[in-house]
Amino acid sequence: MRNNIKFLCVAALLSAVAFFTPQEVSAQSKTGEISYSKGQDLQSALSDTVVFALREFSDGRVFFKDMSSYSAKLNISNLEQCVKFIDPAGGDTLNVANESEIAYVIAANKTFYKTRFGYAQVLKYSGSCLFCFVKDLSVEQLQSMTSYGRIPATSTAKTVNALNDIAGANSGNVGKNMDLKYNMRLLPVLINGNKVMVSTRKAFMKAFPDKKDHIKQLAQETKTDFGDVVSAYNFFNILTGQE
């Protein structure tokens, strides 16, 4: 079954991969600060370009592990790492009931592969190997610290809908509003068959076992930072001859 899913995904990629330049990829990482009212829905406090993977809800198709699929106007939440769709009957935004059974999603000429790290958007592929990135969104409270400025609170809010009571909040912080800092880092991920790996030199060697020596040499020559999505993306392109 897993192999069938893999072949379906690769076939779909042929018509559903939007190629990006390194600059376009890098521009998708974001950091910023927002003012948040306690009890407010966190999603409403953040901009849609931060919360969602797509600029707007778009016609798309969800493919499940059992080979079935479902079409809807959808988007992917970077905050919750789940698919959201618009109910055609009432217009409400809903979650997919069997989210855990999703294999991949195609929407707006983009393919997102569901992984344990989150939804990985495919940037390039070579054979059965996919180079992807996950938008890893984290949000944390900033505490006021008199003349010393502000420091982060001790807790980080991820995959939540509201921050009613953040542990470690400054008891002297009076009022309903607080400042939050968000950071969306791009996590480079390699997928080859059943192997889903965060980008490292070792991961590249597992993804391309016949190119181990070349990968070692190329990594030294290019001084690649495999944890940086742009650097790893450039390495993938050079390695696969797609510069």
Confidence of residue 178 (pLDDT cuts 50, 70, 90): confident
Return the number of other C-beta atoms located less than 10 Å from residue 215's C-beta. Answer: 20
Confidence of residue 240 (pLDDT cuts 50, 70, 90): very high
Instruction: Please report, for the chain, the start and end positions of each structural domain, with discontinuous segments joined by +.
Output: 2-239
DSSP string covering 87-118: -TTT--EEE-TTGGGEEEEEETTEEEEEETTE
Residue 224 pLDDT exceeds 70: yes
Residue 33 has pLDDT above 50, yes or no: yes
pLDDT number for residue 159: 35
Asked if 206 and 192 count as a contact pair (C-beta separation under 8 A), the reply is yes
CA distance 241 to 223: 18
Report pLDDT for 162. 39
pLDDT greater than 90 at residue 166: no
The candidate with the shortest Cα–Cα distance to 111, out of 97, 126, 98, 125, is: 125
Residue 164 has pLDDT above 50, yes or no: no
Residue-wise pLDDT for 115-154, tens only, equals 999 999 999 999 999 999 999 998 887 655 444 444 444 4
pLDDT digits (tens, 9 = 90+) for 65-120: 999 999 999 999 999 999 999 999 999 999 999 999 999 999 999 999 999 999 99
CA atoms within 13 A on the CB side of 215: 18
What pLDDT sits at residue 20?
Answer: 60
